[in-house]
Every structure is written in C-alpha cells, then in structure tokens.
C-alpha cells in the first residue's frame, strides 16, 4: 500500500512540479558520484556512520526541493521516506539518541537495521521514483542507469552491514550478551518413577488362561458367586491385581501397604478387581465397622458398584451400605448406624457413596466412624480428582486418622498416644483397629498423571498397574514415557472396538442416525449428544420419523425409570437410547452394539468413556462419530494424542438419504411445533397466574371428558 501510495503521490507531484526531469537528472548524477565515493570509502572502512549521515542530509535537502507545496497534508500521510530535511534531521538525532541509550544485543541489532535504513533511504526513494519514470517511456535510459546505481548501492549497503557488524559497531557499541537467539527446547515431562515404571498388563479379554476354579486365594463361596454371574475365567487386570491386593491384606504391623492406581480399558473388569479382594480380606472380621469405602462420582455408578458388592457378599456376614442421597438423610442414617442405649454401632462393613453424601454423614451422623477404614476405593479416579477441591478427601482422611496417623501404622508409636487410649478399656479389639493401615485403591480407564492432582491424593508409595493391548502398530515399548511424557497405556481402548467417523452436515444429522437404524439395521444403539436439550430434541425427532423404538435417558428421569429403561434396552425392546454425557462414564449397559457420538466429544477422555460403553467384556462393538468436514482434522488429532491410529470414514450413500428427505422435513416441522408447545407450557408453569388457569382448564377438561364417558 505504501508503495502504491508513493507512486501515485509522486506521479501527481511530478506533473505539478516544473523542471522535475532536470532536477532528477541532476540528482541521479549526484547519486552516482556519491555511490562511487562511498564504495571507495567503505573499502577503506573508516568513518562510515558519519559519512552516511552527511549523505543522507544532502539528499534529504534535495528531496525537499521536489516536494509539493501542500507539505503538511502530505506529512501526515506520507511514509517517513518522504519527510522534510528538518524532520529527517530530527529523526536521525532521535534515533541516534535512542540507539545510544539501548543496551545488550538489542543495541547491535537495532544499530544494524537503523544504519541500513539510514543508508538505503535515498536509494529507496529513487527506486520508487524510478517506477514512475518507468511508466513514462521517455525516461527509460534514466531508469536503466538508476537500476545500476540502486543495485550497486544495495550491494554496498549489504556489505556495509556485515562490515559494520564485524568491525565498527563492535567498537562503537559494546555488545552485552549473545546476539544469536537459540531456539528454546521443548520442556519434556519427566514422570515420577512409579508412573514411569509400572506393572504392565496385556489385556486380552479372550484369554481363558486363568480359571476361577483353580484360582488360589479366594473362598469357595466367592467362586460360587462368580459362576452364578457367568464368570469362569478372570480377565487380565483381575488376574494381576487381585493376588497383589490379597498379598497385602494380611495385616502388616510395621509398614503401611502401598497405595495402587489401576489403569485399564473400559469394560475390562476393574470393578471385580477391587470388590473380590476387599470381600475376601474383610469376610473374617469379628466386629462390624466401616472398613471399606468406595467413592464414585455419580449416583448411578455408586448404585451399580453397590449391587456388585451386594451380590458377591452373599454367603458372608459382611453388610454393604449405600450413601448417595437416593433416600432421605434420616433413612440413610438408619441404614448405616444403630443408636443403642449407651453407644452407637455400625450396621455396615462396606459403604459405597458419592463424595458429597459421605461428607454429610461424617459431619452429621452421630456414631458414623471411619476410624477402622482399611480400604478407600476411588473409582473413576481421574473424575474424582476433579472433585477433590470440594474437600471430600480431606474430610474422609480427617475422619480416618482421628486417632493419629502414626499410631495407625506403627505400634511402636503407641506410647505417644497413651492419652488417647486411656479413655478406652484396652482389649485386643482396641488395638486391632488402631493398627489397621489405610490403603487407597484408584481405578480408571483414563487415569490422570497430573502431578498436582496426584499430589492432592496423598498417595503412599504408589504403585501403578497399567494395561496395553496387542493391537498392531501400537507403541508399547517400555521407554515410551521418555518420548511421549505419558505412562505406557494411558488411553487404552478395548481391542474389540471398531471406530469410524461419518461426515454429514449438522442439518441432516438426525436423518443420518435414523438412516443407520432403519436402513442399515443398527440395533442396541447408544447415542450421545452434547446436552440434555439436544437429547430431547433428537429423541422427539426420531419418534416423529417413526419405525424405530427410541427412548430418552437423562438425569431428569427417576432412578427407577432409568433402571427400567436400561433393562428394556438390554432385552432389545428399545433400539436406540439417546443420552447426554452423564451416561458416558462407567455405566455398564449390557449388550450395547453401537455407540454414536451425535455431537462430537470435546475431550479425548470423553471420547474414550463414550466408546467404552460398547465392546465390553470381550464383546465386539462399533463406535461412530458424526462430524462436519471441518471437524475431521481436529478429531483425528485428538485421537492421535491418545496414541490411536487414523480412524477410517464410514460413508453414507447420499441417494439413499434423498429418498427419506420428504419424510424428514415433515418430522422436523412437527418436532419444532411440539418443542415450542413444551416451552410455552414450561413458561406458563413458572407464572403462578398461568399455573392456576392451566389447572382450571385441566379440571374443566377432566369434567367434560367424564361427562362424555358417562354419556
Ligand atoms: N472375568 C470376567 N469374565 C466375564 N465377564 C466379566 C469378568 N469380569 C467382569 N466382567 C463383566 O464385564 C463387564 C464390565 O466390567 P466392569 O464394569 O467392571 O468394567 P470396568 O473396567 O469397570 O469398565 P468402566 O471403565 O467402563 O467402568 C461387567 O458386565 C462385568 O460383569
């Protein structure tokens, strides 16, 4: 733009200015001689800066002569090349002053560039003028001459720059520090030793090597319960973690057992990997006290784990409690503790809870004690770490270590707690509960390695069990963490999972989902949307399209209804369950064949948990993500960050879709009307006046209908 402007400006000015050609020729001749002089001068390489300044001032005074009368206006708009001689002088002075004040590497850099600017200013003006003359053919010769000069001068200038840098500048301006800028090396994450050197488990769920019958360490009633549940072989994560925990279950009087973190793919049987060893370790307890606490992020997950504990505790005297806020607080209190005449006793050995509710009981349920807690299970550990800021773990630990942290781990320090013990009669039982150490067991399919978050968990000598699959092309080398900064098998997905993406415009996404069901015959589909609103809208639209059994699954549904819904889905009565991400984590829905991500997941963890609802326990499963064309790159990038190969595209035949378009349009308009009506009703319910009117209307309708029925 500048250049264009100058050309125009000079073009106009030259026409206005008389005798321009003569002056230009004079100027050019002057420049040739100056350039030659300078060349000579540079060769001698002395007094360079002074020289250039003089020349600059000479030339700028020449320029002033050629400038138009309307100087002020032009000054406002003009680039600095065309300033008047006084301005140029001022500028040169200012620059020199600034330059003198500056230090370090900046000094030398700025000086080099400024000296270049100073030297080349007149030449640049000339080269711009040259363009004007180029337009006018009569000055062709001048142009050629001028080009030669410019080239010569430019060559000299560049020579000068290097020369200046080498010789004169270093003398004139002392260079402090290095001029060269080194490229910063990327900061590489160094994992703590326990994350960098985990126990690696190869997850092959089809491996039938470890039979339940021959597995040592578990009681016969547990084995019976396993068989009742149709489990005859242990999955790899169970095969490794259960014996390790059982080995630790024997009380160690002088040392606290290591805490563990288990990272294994979705549906690989992590729940039984803590349920079985806990039951086995506690089954011979004498006094009923809370000895195991499993904390899960949401009510449904807690209820699921509670059911697993209950079914495997059959045949033992162990009792399990649930604290998730499903019942009223008083009702829940009654299931956890019993108020006696003189004291309060625990009614449960194992408690499954959500973080908020357990804190409530610690604070408000008299006699609810965690002082005997032996196992603290943190399932969906990465999600639970996010909740830690709410202080649930601190509250639990405070309740656990009420006696004193050291006395729990080492009897040698009991001396220090004489005062605490003096209020109790000393029995074997008193000592046993004090000596029970606490062990934290963390489980997740997407375990976080954020040191800050892990730090908050206050793990004791943690040990990591991680899983890898035998997928070809997967990097499973033991020093992988050195290159990627992540522990081996951080985001492992089931081997049986097939992943695809489908490109489609947002406007036809519902049609594509319907097409999969109706045209491709997909059954037992879980469809994830990004919000509860989208869930409702899609569900209504699919119902409108007809021909498929659709059900909405959201946190708005009552727990009983949700259970019923899942049952119907597993038995095949429902073709597609539309849900939000509330359902993505941990929920074990039997027989999900397809997972469709209607709205693409925002985070890789969300993706892993969503697709993990299928291909569970060694079954086959398919996951399809609906994407716009522009989203594909980011999606692939996200999966790459999880160590996955490129996911292939599943194309939808457009001509097949076309045949359903008419039907789709009708369903769309019906859906928007329906949703508008629903919104109106919701608004009306918010307004008390309207609420009364609607109630009256309903009563009237009811009376009318009653009369009609009677007649
Ligand atoms: N050894 C086994 N043999 C057959 N099925 C098993 C075995 N162990 C667990 N299962 C079944 O596998 C399914 C998934 O188990 P589980 O819910 O424990 O997985 P998970 O690893 O916790 O998954 P997520 O990370 O999604 O919570 C359950 O239905 C469970 O009954």
Q: Which residues, other chains included, contact 368 with Cβ-Cβ below 8 Å and sequence gap of 6+?
A: 290, 333, 336, 337, 344, 346, 361, 362
Strands 350-353 and 463-468: unpaired
How many other CB atoms sit within 10 Å of the CB of residue 19?
10
Q: What is the mean pLDDT of residues 552-576?
A: 86
Selection from 298, 310, 279, 274 nearest residue 586 by Cα: 298
- Which residue, by CA, sits nearest to atom 10 of ligand 1? 269
Decide if pLDDT at 58 tops 60: no
Average pLDDT, the chain: 77
Lowest mean pLDDT among 104-113, 392-401, 419-428, 484-493: 104-113
271 lines ligand 1 (CB under 6 A): yes
State the Cα–Cα distance between residues 264 and 467, nearest whole angstrom. 5
Mutating to test ligand 1, I would choose from 222, 469, 491, 588 the residue with most ligand atoms within 8 A of its C-beta, which is 588
Decide if pLDDT at 9 tops 80: no
Mutating to test ligand 1, I would choose from 211, 269, 270 the residue with most ligand atoms within 8 A of its C-beta, which is 269
589 lines ligand 1 (CB under 6 A): no
139 lines ligand 1 (CB under 6 A): no
Decide if pLDDT at 560 tops 90: no
CA 443 – ligand 1 centroid, Å: 13
293 lines ligand 1 (CB under 6 A): no
Work out the end-to-end distance of the chain between its first and last CA atoms, rounded to an integer number of angstroms: 88
State the Cα–Cα distance between residues 442 and 382, nearest whole angstrom. 9
CA 273 – ligand 1 centroid, Å: 9
Higher pLDDT, 395 or 78: 395
The sign of the CA dihedral 572, 573, 577, 583 is negative
- Which residue, by CA, sits nearest to atom 3 of ligand 1? 231
Complete DSSP assignment for 577-611: EEE-GGGTSS---TT--EEEESSPPSSHHHHHHHH
- Which residue, by CA, sits nearest to atom 4 of ligand 1? 231
Higher pLDDT, 640 or 79: 640
Higher pLDDT, 557 or 434: 557
What percent of the chain lies above the pLDDT cut of 90?
41
Q: Please state the separation of Cα 110 from the chain's center in Å.
A: 42
Indicate which atom in ligand 1 lies nearest the CA of residue 230.
4
617 lines ligand 1 (CB under 6 A): yes
**Of all helices (H) and strands (E), which one includes residue 440?**
strand 439-444
Higher pLDDT, 583 or 621: 621
586 lines ligand 1 (CB under 6 A): yes
Q: What is the mean pLDDT of residues 642-659?
A: 88
Model-level pTM?
Answer: 0.69
The HSE-up count of residue 53 (CA atoms within 13 Å, CB side) is 11
Summarised one tens digit per residue, pLDDT across range 425-470 is: 455 444 444 456 899 999 999 988 887 888 888 899 999 999 887 6
State the Cα–Cα distance between residues 600 and 537, nearest whole angstrom. 17
Summarised one tens digit per residue, pLDDT across range 284-310 is: 888 999 999 999 999 989 999 999 999
- Which residue, by CA, sits nearest to atom 15 of ligand 1? 269
SS3 state of residue 429: helix
pLDDT computed for residue 155 by the predictor: 45
588 lines ligand 1 (CB under 6 A): yes
pLDDT computed for residue 55 by the predictor: 44
CA 98 – ligand 1 centroid, Å: 72
**Confidence grade of residue 69 (pLDDT, cut at 50, 70, 90):** very low
Lowest mean pLDDT among 177-191, 412-426, 626-640: 412-426
pLDDT computed for residue 707 by the predictor: 54
Higher pLDDT, 416 or 689: 689
Indicate which atom in ligand 1 lies nearest the CA of residue 444.
25
**Confidence grade of residue 659 (pLDDT, cut at 50, 70, 90):** confident
Q: What is the mean pLDDT of residues 18-26?
A: 69
Indicate which atom in ligand 1 lies nearest the CA of residue 264.
21
pLDDT computed for residue 83 by the predictor: 44
**Report for 166-170, 187-191, 209-213: range of highest mean pLDDT:** 209-213
Higher pLDDT, 682 or 261: 261
266 lines ligand 1 (CB under 6 A): yes
Q: What is the mean pLDDT of residues 648-659?
A: 90
66 lines ligand 1 (CB under 6 A): no
269 lines ligand 1 (CB under 6 A): yes
Selection from 50, 184, 182, 167 nearest residue 108 by Cα: 167
**Confidence grade of residue 260 (pLDDT, cut at 50, 70, 90):** very high
Contact of 469 with 445, CB cutoff 8 Å: no
CA 269 – ligand 1 centroid, Å: 3
Buried b / exposed e over 618-649, threshold 16 CB at 10 Å, is bbebbbbbbbeeeebeebbebbeebbbeebee
- Which residue, by CA, sits nearest to atom 29 of ligand 1? 588
270 lines ligand 1 (CB under 6 A): yes
State the Cα–Cα distance between residues 179 and 65, nearest whole angstrom. 41
Decide if pLDDT at 132 tops 60: no
267 lines ligand 1 (CB under 6 A): yes
Contact of 36 with 153, CB cutoff 8 Å: no
State the Cα–Cα distance between residues 41 and 31, nearest whole angstrom. 15
Starting at the edge strand found earlier in the chain, the sheet holding 525-528 runs 497-503, 621-627, 594-597, 525-528, 576-579, 550-553
Lowest mean pLDDT among 247-261, 540-554, 608-622: 247-261
pLDDT computed for residue 267 by the predictor: 93
CA 590 – ligand 1 centroid, Å: 10
Residues in the chain, how many? 711
Summarised one tens digit per residue, pLDDT across range 77-86 is: 334 444 445 5
Strands (E), 141-289: 199-202, 260-263
308 lines ligand 1 (CB under 6 A): no
């Amino acid at each position: 733009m500048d250049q264009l402007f100058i050309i125009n400006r000079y073009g106009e000015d030259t026409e206005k200015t008389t005798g321009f050609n003569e002056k230009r020729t004079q100027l050019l001749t002057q420049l040739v001689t100056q350039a030659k002089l300078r060349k000579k001068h540079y060769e001698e390489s002395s007094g360079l800066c002074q020289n250039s300044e003089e020349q600059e001032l000479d030339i700028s005074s020449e320029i002033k002569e050629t400038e138009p009368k309307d100087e002020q206006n032009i000054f406002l708009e003009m680039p600095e090349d065309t300033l008047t001689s006084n301005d140029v002088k001022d500028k040169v002075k200012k620059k020199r002053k600034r330059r003198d004040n500056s230090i370090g590497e900046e000094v030398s850099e700025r000086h080099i560039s400024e000296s270049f600017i100073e030297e080349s200013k007149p030449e640049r003006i000339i080269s711009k003028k040259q363009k004007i003359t180029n337009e006018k053919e009569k000055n062709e010769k001048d142009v050629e001459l001028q080009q030669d000069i410019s080239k010569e001068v430019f060559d000299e200038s560049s020579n000068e720059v290097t020369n200046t840098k080498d010789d004169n500048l270093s003398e004139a301006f002392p260079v402090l520090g290095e001029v060269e800028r080194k490229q910063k090396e990327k900061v590489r994450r160094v994992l703590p030793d326990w994350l960098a050197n985990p126990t690696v488990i190869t997850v092959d769920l089809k491996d039938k090597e470890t039979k339940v019958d021959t597995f040592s360490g578990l009681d016969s009633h547990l084995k019976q319960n396993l068989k009742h549940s149709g489990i005859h072989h242990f999955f790899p994560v169970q095969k490794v973690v259960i014996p390790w925990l059982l080995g630790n279950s024997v009380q160690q009087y002088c040392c606290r057992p290591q805490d563990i973190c288990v990272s294994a793919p979705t549906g690989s049987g992590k729940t039984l990997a803590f349920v079985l060893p806990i039951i086995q370790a506690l089954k011979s307890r004498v006094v009923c006290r809370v000895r195991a606490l499993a904390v899960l992020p949401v009510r449904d997950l807690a209820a699921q784990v509670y059911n697993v504990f209950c079914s495997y505790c059959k045949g033992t005297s162990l009792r399990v409690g649930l604290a998730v806020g499903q019942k009223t607080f008083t009702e829940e209190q009654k299931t956890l503790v019993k108020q006696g005449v003189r004291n309060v006793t625990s009614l449960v050995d194992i408690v499954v809870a959500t973080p908020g509710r357990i804190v409530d009981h610690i604070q408000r349920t008299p006699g609810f004690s965690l002082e005997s807690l032996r196992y603290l299970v943190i399932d969906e550990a990465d999600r639970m770490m996010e909740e830690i800021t709410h202080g649930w773990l601190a509250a639990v630990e405070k309740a656990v270590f009420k006696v004193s942290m050291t006395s729990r781990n080492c009897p040698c320090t009991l001396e220090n707690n004489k005062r605490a013990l003096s209020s109790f009669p000393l029995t074997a039982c008193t000592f046993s509960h004090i000596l029970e150490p606490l062990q934290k067991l963390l489980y997740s399919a997407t375990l976080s390695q954020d040191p800050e978050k892990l730090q908050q968990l206050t793990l004791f000598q943690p040990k990591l069990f991680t899983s890898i699959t035998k997928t070809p092309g997967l990097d499973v080398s033991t020093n992988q963490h050195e290159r990627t900064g992540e522990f081996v098998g951080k985001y492992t997905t089931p081997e049986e999972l097939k992943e695809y993406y489908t490109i489609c415009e947002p406007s036809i996404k519902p049609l594509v989902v319907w097409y999969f069901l109706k045209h491709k015959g997909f059954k037992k589909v879980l469809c994830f949307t990004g919000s509860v609103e989208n869930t409702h809208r899609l569900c209504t639209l699919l119902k409108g399209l007809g021909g498929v059994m659709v059900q909405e699954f959201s946190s708005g549904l009552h727990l009983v209804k949700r259970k019923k819904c899942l049952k119907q889905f597993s038995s095949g009565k429902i073709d597609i369950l539309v849900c939000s991400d509330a359902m993505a984590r941990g929920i074990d829905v039997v027989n999900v064949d397809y997972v469709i991500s209607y709205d693409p997941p925002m985070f890789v963890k969300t993706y892993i948990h969503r697709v993990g609802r299928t291909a569970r326990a060694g079954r086959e499963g398919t996951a399809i993500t609906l994407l716009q064309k522009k989203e594909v790159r980011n999606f692939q990038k996200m999966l790459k960050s999880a160590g996955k190969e490129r996911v292939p595209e599943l194309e939808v035949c457009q001509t097949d879709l076309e045949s359903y378009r008419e039907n789709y349009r009708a369903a769309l308009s019906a859906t928007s009307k329906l949703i508008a009506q629903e919104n109106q009703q919701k608004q009306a319910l918010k307004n008390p006046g309207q609420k009364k009117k609607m109630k009256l209307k309903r009563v009237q309708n009811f009376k009318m209908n009653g009369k009609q029925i009677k007649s």
